[in-house]
A = this chain, B = another copy of it.
Amino acid sequence: MPRYVYDFIEGDRSRADLLGGKGANLAEMTRLGLPVPPGFTISTDACRAHLATGSPPAGLFDEVNTHLREIEARLDRRLGDPHDPLLLAVRSGGRYSMPGMMETILDIGLNDATVTGLAARSGDERFAWDSYRRLIQMFGRTVYGAPAEEFEQELAAVRATAGAAGPTAEQLHDLVETYKKIFARRVGHDFPQAPHEQLFLAIRAVFASWHSERARIYRRQERIPDDLGTAVNVMAMVFGNLGPDSGTGVAFTRDPATGAPGVYGDYLPDAQGEDVVAGVRNTIGLPELERIDPVSFRRLLEIMATLERHYRDLCDIEFTIERGRLWMLQTRVGKRTPAAAFVIAAQLVDEGMITPAEALTRVTGAQLAQLMFPAFDLTAAPEPLAVGVGASPGAAVGRVVFDSAAAAAATEPVILVRRETNPDDLPGMIAAAGVLTSRGGKTSHAAVVARGMGRTCVCGAEALDIDARRDECTVGDRVVRAGEVISIDGTTGRIYLGEVPVQPSPVARYLAGELNPEADPLVAAVHRLLGHADAVRRLGVRANADTPADARRARRLGAAGIGLCRTEHMFLGDRRELVERLILAEGPAERDAALAALLPPQRADFVGILAAMDGLPVTIRLLDPPLHEFLPALPELTARVARAEALGTDPGRDATLLGAVRRMHEANPMLGLRGVRLGLVVPGLFAMQVRAVAEAAAQRRRAGGDPRPEIMVPLVGDVRELAAVRDEAERVLAEVDDAPEIPIGTMIEVPRAALTAGEIATEATFFSFGTNDLTQTTWACSRDDAEGSFFGAYLERGIFPVSPFERIDARGVGRLIRLAVAEGRAARPELTVGVCGEHGGDPDSVAFFAEAGLDYVSCSPYRVPIARLAAGRAAVDATTGTSDSR
């Protein structure tokens, strides 16, 4: 016979899977001897059994009755006793907190008879009738879905009649009668008078609430599995609404906003918890409580200290004082802001409560990323004009434009404001400082695309009524016209009129070397945890950088080299004309001349980058994109030539270019003539690049530097491609005097490279996973095309829990990575293996790469600290076996 019910004295916090978070923590407090009202927890097993069959498992209510009798014995009070009734609270509580999503029913046990007993025992008739009307209302709504508004209207009417002193007992008694009528009308039968029936119905309602639509939506958003089920906590009622010596409150052991030491909380005298939540009356601070009830206050401080020592972390609690007696109703490790997470973790180390390694597990790379964004100076901010969904973090200020073409053409910062966006808006989104829409959520086109490009975005600000044709939008009475300045906060979703001053992030300033680590507690905490991450991590962190300036920035941010230096960026700007000459070259002589002209500027670029990264590896990728990317686009040229022809003018050079572009046009350029294929088809191209690298390194050496270039071949799918490039490269390298030894390796960015990694490793000194392209080809999904077209729908339907371009897809792409690492190292044990796709800067992905045994990740410079932290955390998790993949 399985067991489903556990008294609080039987459990502990390690059993949250079975007892839910709330139940486990109640048990833990009971075990610590803290004043918790007697009660028991019905396990998640029972809920799962109920959800599977639609009815409670056999024997459950017998077990409940057994435990109930124990409580009755302990309190010497019985459920349904008309003279001195035991009242019960029934609360849900799953493994993971789902605030406000699940159900609670208080005052179980009241009926027409026991209400008078309660009145007698409490000496407060008003209180008794008020409790009864609360029960009828909560029970009706929770168990039978009766609408709350009807009850609320009646209550409001009574309150209005009663005036400042509040309703009399008589009035409340009448209200109960009215409530019972509403209940009967809405539910179809009378309010159940039998206290045990009330209890069992309440338990079933909590079970059923697991599958309510809002709970389901919440779980999908928070990625909580759907099959966990909830536990149900049944506890003797204590009352904070028995007069001025009663009350209820919430408290934190430290400030959850800043992490500052010292307790922090709110207290509401003469009230129940639901009154705090409803925000009907104003709370007072804890110091006030000290004045009202110093004994309870001191006891509360003692308990909070005990809990913090015990949990070794910030705790939040709910408590009630019933006629001067303190009761603990809940505790848990408290939520906190990113800043508080860092500050508290560092403090706990200082206080000797946790080790530096544990401190690393208390913060995440995602939190550090948030701390690096500039933020609005909220002391200078007006009331928000409206609030939408914070869809892509950051603080953006600019002039309103309602048209993407106008945004693309703007010369000063603009905020692109659209009802919703579509692919036509892309140029405008790229040009804008921020994007604001009135429709759609975190998975809308605007949100997905903006996050993809790191652009600040607020979505679904439904208060905005946008009339793009008239170039204006209205919010209530206020009309906002094109050209007006607004400020949008992509983290909070707030929209402000005018320019709100933006504060650079102190963490970012510290990381850039502009602030001293002692500057403030947050910076000091970040400094300390990053230092510890660096000390423990096994994963190296390099940066993706294509210019000396980026390289210097990356080095300041802690990069141990460059993992990806893209050479195509060196073919843009003034040099585009040289590339055009190369493409249009007729015959080897013209082609060689064009290549020769490209060599000196590239060499100069490499000299600068190698100088910035002196003594550290610099992985230089040979040219990757298709050459036609350096020519004007086909539709544009076609239109130009068509226009000239229609007008009878000479299209001139455009006609030549159009010929070349047509000849080189590719239906799917991502899968076309690029990367190593270019190198094998355009004679001399890769040789020129290799020579530029070798000559730059030689020049640096002669100048006394320690250049460490590495040459990386892109898009290899077969070992013979790499062997051919390697042969040619080694011939060139042998010709350059003073060049250092230059390792030659390859990107692993097409599935076939991963599948044949054992062969490829025979020709490669290193592998670098290009996870962007590897994701695109493994999923057969072009990021550019997909983010705007179907990713939104996929995220919404839960087909992706998160975009595979944000977090590495461990089951698909990750399987290829593991396979390639294993087979590559089997073939060449000294093989160095890194990753240089954007996933290299995503904390969850970094954890995956650490676990997969990579040597380093490489990411954009500003993500280097995030990767360092994530790598440190991953090292700690690996030793302790922690791995909460949610």
Contact = CB atoms under 8 A, between A and B. Distances in A.
A424 B668 contact: no
Interface stretch (A10-18, A46-54, A142-150, A634-642): A634-642
A782 B671 contact: yes
A667 interface: yes
Contacts of A667: 669-670, 782, 784-785
A666 B782 contact: yes
11 contacts: A422-B663, A667-B782, A671-B777, A677-B786, A677-B794, A681-B790, A717-B781, A718-B800, A751-B777, A751-B812, A755-B815
Given A646-B642, A663-B424, A777-B777, A671 B717 contact: no
Contact of A670 (B641, B780, B790): B780
A756 B811 contact: yes
Interface of A: 422-424, 634-636, 638-643, 645-647, 659, 662-673, 677, 680-681, 715, 717-718, 720-721, 724, 749-752, 755-756, 759, 773, 776-782, 784-786, 789-790, 793-794, 797-800, 809, 811-813, 815-816
A599 to B, nearest CB: 23
Contacts of A641: 639
A643 B790 CA distance: 34
A640 B665 CA distance: 19
Give how many copies assemble into the complex. 2
A724 B798 CA distance: 10
A779 B750 contact: yes
Contacts of A671: 668, 670-671, 776-777, 780-782, 785-786
A245 to B, nearest CB: 56
Contact of A778 (B666, B670, B677, B752): B752
Contacts of A639: 638-639, 641-642
A429 to B, nearest CB: 14
B782 A755 contact: no
Contact of A755 (B665, B778, B800): B778
A750 B780 contact: yes
A680 B749 CA distance: 28
B724 A799 contact: yes
Given A639-B638, A750-B778, A755-B812, A669 B785 contact: yes
Given A671-B785, A755-B816, A778-B751, A724 B797 contact: yes
A785 B642 contact: no
**3 nearest A-B pairs in the assembled complex, by CB-CB distance:** A671-B782, A639-B642, A750-B780
Contacts of A812: 717-718, 751-752, 755-756
A260 B207 CA distance: 85
A789 B673 contact: yes
Given A779-B752, A785-B671, A790-B677, A423 B646 contact: no
A717 B776 CA distance: 11
Given A717-B780, A751-B812, A755-B811, 16 more contacts: A422-B663, A423-B662, A635-B635, A635-B638, A647-B647, A667-B670, A668-B669, A669-B785, A671-B671, A671-B786, A677-B790, A680-B793, A681-B790, A715-B780, A720-B799, A750-B779
A784 B717 CA distance: 18
Listed residue (A750, A752, A786) with the most chain B CB atoms within 10 angstroms of its CB: A752
Given A646-B642, A799-B721, A672 B793 contact: no
A799 B719 CA distance: 8
A781 B718 CA distance: 12
A115 to B, nearest CB: 50
A28 to B, nearest CB: 37
Nearest to A720: B799
A811 B680 CA distance: 22
A122 to B, nearest CB: 55
A396 to B, nearest CB: 26
A815 B677 CA distance: 23
Given A639-B642, A799-B724, A673 B785 contact: yes
Nearest to A675: B780
A423 B813 contact: no
Listed residue (A669, A677, A759) with the most chain B CB atoms within 10 angstroms of its CB: A677
B668 A784 contact: yes
A645 B813 CA distance: 48
B785 A752 contact: no
A659 B423 CA distance: 11
Contacts of A672: 781-782, 785-786, 789
A681 B642 CA distance: 36
A669 B639 CA distance: 22
A391 B303 CA distance: 88
A838 B364 CA distance: 49
Nearest to A644: B646
Contacts of A645: 643
Contacts of A755: 778, 811-812, 815-816
A136 B163 CA distance: 132
Listed residue (A636, A639, A751, A756) with the most chain B CB atoms within 10 angstroms of its CB: A751
A790 B672 CA distance: 9
B751 A816 contact: yes
B797 A668 contact: no
Contacts of A669: 667-668, 785
A837 to B, nearest CB: 14
B790 A673 contact: yes
Nearest to A672: B785
Contacts of A638: 635-636, 638-639, 642
A794 to B, nearest CB: 7
A724 B424 CA distance: 29
Contacts of A784: 666-668
Nearest to A811: B756
A423 B663 contact: yes
Listed residue (A640, A665, A790, A815) with the most chain B CB atoms within 10 angstroms of its CB: A790
Nearest to A645: B643
B718 A799 contact: yes
B799 A752 contact: no
Contact of A642 (B643, B659, B800): B643
A782 B665 contact: no
A256 B784 CA distance: 58
B642 A798 contact: no
A596 to B, nearest CB: 23
A638 to B, nearest CB: 4
A755 B815 CA distance: 7
Nearest to A719: B799
A542 to B, nearest CB: 24
Contacts of A786: 671-673, 677
Contacts of A422: 663
A746 to B, nearest CB: 13
